[in-house]
Amino acid sequence: MSSTIAARVREIKDLTTEIKSRSAELRNLRKMRKDAEDVVIKFLLDKDQPGIKCDNFVVLSEQKEKRVRKKKSEKMKDGVAVLSKHGVEDPNTVLTELLESMKGNKSTVSCLRTKDMSDLVTE
């Protein structure tokens, strides 16, 4: 194995580790931000204020609509119900074909799959 390829493999391993680490860090930062936002929102609601100004930074509390995510089975069930309501004869097949048609064409691409040898159990 060429030394440049070995260096690239090590680089892939290091980058993968760094990406995982930063993802975990971002997850924690998002949770901390959400917790801080919840405290500020609760304060504004308790004081019946629309917002506050702090160090040339304005924070406003507002209401907005947010859709709750559905499970895939719920989406399929609701889609079949809508198609049935509009008189489609075979709603399951039509929905499946419709969802498949929205996807792009499949193509084959080369990719790397990595595995840490220290994780493998040897007997």
Is residue 123 predicted with pLDDT exceeding 60?
no
Q: Which pLDDT score, from 0 to 100, does residue 119 have? A: 67
Q: Which pLDDT score, from 0 to 100, does residue 121 have? A: 62
Is residue 74 predicted with pLDDT exceeding 80?
yes
Give me the chain's average pLDDT, please. Answer: 91
Q: Which pLDDT score, from 0 to 100, does residue 46 have? A: 94
Phi then psi for residue 119, to 5 deg, are -80, -20
Residue type, 40: V
Is residue 18 predicted with pLDDT exceeding 70?
yes
Please give the C-alpha separations between residue 78 and each of 20, 73, 96, in angstroms, as whole numbers.
36, 9, 13
pLDDT tens digits, 102-114 = 998 889 999 988 8
Q: What is the mean pLDDT of residues 6-27?
A: 95
| pTM reported for the whole predicted model | 0.69
pLDDT tens digits, 25-69 = 999 999 999 999 999 999 999 999 999 998 889 999 999 999 999
DSSP the chain: --HHHHHHHHHHHHHHHHHHHHHHHHHHHHHHHHHHHHHHHHHHHHHT-SEEEETTEEEE------PPPPPHHHHHHHHHHHHHHTT-SSHHHHHHHHHHHHSPPP----------GGGSPP-
